[in-house]
Amino acid sequence: WFEKEGWTDEAIRHAFLAADDKLAARLVDDAAAELALHWNNAQLIKYVKKLPLEQLPLYPRLCIYYAWALTNTGQLDALTKILTIAESSQAHSRQPPAILACVVTLRAYEHLRKLDFANATQLCRQALSLLEPSTQGSPSAEEQWGFAAATNLLPYICLYSDPRRAAVLYPIGLALSQKFGILVATANSTARLARAKHQLGQLHEAADVLRQGLNTLGHGRSGDAKGSRVVNVGELHLIMGRLHYEWNRLEEAEPFVQQARQLNELSGFPPVLALELETSLRLSLARGEIEAAQTSLHRLNQLCAETHQDDQLSKQTFEVMAMNGKLALASRAPGLGHLLVEVAGWLRERKLGAEDRFEYPLEGGYSILARSLLAQNRPAEAFALLERLVGAAQAGGRKDDLIRYLLLQALAVQSLGQEDGAWKPLLRALKLAEPEGYCRSFVDLGPAMHALLKQLAKDRPTLYLTTLLEAFPEDSGKPSSAPAHPRSEAARETDWFEPLNDRERSVLRLIAIGKSHKQIAKELQLAPNTVRWYIQSLYSKLQVHNRTKVINRARDVGLL
């Protein structure tokens, strides 16, 4: 009776109460397309989890909708199993092309989360070929969902492989989402199209996309067409805040970030939270609020620790954000030099080397490596790595990355004592940056970049150079805290840690060659408990917790 009257939820509830699993499965399958179309993930997941596993192969579409809901809610552990059930069903091959495209896209997404970019890209192409012949006529609710799902997820994957393709695909997904009244998909497509534009260095176009999206969706939370889902537009505010930050409009950036923070409090979507923390850190540093920046970094570190190892993509993304934050903090506060050591340790754990081959999605770690090498006064190695990063960014049309790499390259050449050679990458970066109004990418590089720009302005003054120089803080003309020449072991140690005394140094050297507590005690003619005390002191000063880490940390700072 409830089914006949169109009261789907009540019909399903009574089927479960009657322990009629077959009826419940059929009812859930009938309702799944509508639930998926309106992103009602929680309800769909609740229904499917109540069904016996043996019922699922009979309903491949239900499995697909369920897989999509699991993806949307970050429940990736169950994704592989449910996709396998759907694909093994004899009825699977008879699904509309748009539904099949969504299955392939989900498989691509699964590979992406595991950092398997080659297979993710290959499956993306396959999904696109399935969608092409299905764009005519009036699609059913199922096909609407398939179109919307695939055209939202495919560009997301492309963001990590080819931002130019993402910028082409997202408007298609955005138009379909708006046509079908799917506001959640509209918000997602808007945010990611803006991100793609930002990656391509099209800051003004990104801002236009965000303004249109916020006008369509409203500036707060928006219910969808059937009120079944609440749309969090916090990500749109956050990306707009980051654009204003780049333009050095700090007073305009802050309200957008605050609004994003408030909107994301209930949903707590980790990628948006990570972006908000990184942006807040940058804003705090721009205002000279070191403690506030440290608080943001601490929360970002917590988010990294809480991210499951199986979600390799999110873990890597959050860790790169945290390392960027540590490098930024260390450059502004000499007393936080230990953060540079933590970055060096992270790079070593990830086994990243300056001569490695790398793919674009993993490029963030190598960008960190280049900046770390510069901070360690190893400009020749940094320059060689940046030369390859510049080539990769240029080949991919990623002007945002290209500008940053060229500026770092200019600093590397300057550190090599070849100031004239620094003009070429600097002038190229200025030419790319000026039309879009880039500012903080220059300012955040500190006194060394200020000195380069100031010297260039003497020979080739322009309004843009004047604007950039005015954006630097008043103390930027002072000598950089970074060393102009390699320093002694003791000087580097004093920057980062409380200095080691002679006895601690002796204990450290014996630990490094593998001596036990008793062997160290015998060689130094100390009581074993005294040796333990010195080792604990080493751990405290070098901010580690075991022998292996104390050796690695000591090597990072030149003590061994």
Helix, strand or coil, per DSSP, at residue 222? strand
Band of pLDDT at residue 224, cut at 50, 70 and 90: very low
Answer yes or no: do 391 and 467 share one domain: yes
Digit-coded pLDDT (tens) for 28-38: 998 887 887 77
Tell me if 115 sits within 8 A of 312, measured CB to CB. Answer: yes
Mean pLDDT of 111-123: 84
With respect to residue 264, please indicate whether it lies within any of the assigned structural domains. no
Tell me if 103 sits within 8 A of 146, measured CB to CB. Answer: no
Instruction: Kindly state the tokens that stand for 91.
Output: 């009825």
Cα gap 125→122, rounded to integer Å: 5
Answer yes or no: do 432 and 515 share one domain: no
Q: Evaluate if residue 267 carries a pLDDT over 70.
A: no
With respect to residue 295, please indicate whether it lies within any of the assigned structural domains. no
Q: Kindly report the CA angle at 295 between 403 and 537, in degrees rounded to 5?
A: 105
Report DSSP state, residue 144. H
Q: Evaluate if residue 327 carries a pLDDT over 80.
A: yes
Q: What is the count of structural domains for the chain?
A: 3
- Token look-up 């708006």 returns 178
Answer yes or no: do 407 and 515 share one domain: no
Instruction: Kindly state the tokens that stand for 237.
Output: 């505010």
Q: Please, how many CA atoms are within 13 Å of residue 120, restricted to the half-sphere of its CB?
A: 22
Last residue of a domain, one of 210, 227, 244: 227
Cα gap 506→163, rounded to integer Å: 53
Mean pLDDT of 199-218: 94
Tell me if 63 sits within 8 A of 89, measured CB to CB. Answer: yes
Q: Tell me, what CATH number does 45's domain have?
A: 1.25.40.10
What's the distance, CA 416 to chain centroid?
32
Range of the domain at 500: 493-556
Closest listed residue to residue 189, CA positions, set 148, 130, 246, 230: 148
With respect to residue 385, please indicate whether it lies within any of the assigned structural domains. yes
Cα gap 141→237, rounded to integer Å: 31
Query: What pLDDT is attached to residue 255?
Result: 94
Mean pLDDT of 489-496: 45
Pairwise pLDDT comparison (129 vs 415), residue with the higher score: 415
Cα gap 125→176, rounded to integer Å: 20
Which amino acid, one-letter code, is at 159? L
Instruction: Kindly state the tokens that stand for 248.
Output: 């050095």
Last residue of a domain, one of 182, 197, 227: 227
| Overall pTM > 0.85 | no
Answer yes or no: do 14 and 155 share one domain: yes
Answer yes or no: do 73 and 208 share one domain: yes
Q: Tell me, what CATH number does 518's domain have?
A: 1.10.10.10
With respect to residue 309, please indicate whether it lies within any of the assigned structural domains. no
Query: What pLDDT is attached to residue 198?
Result: 96
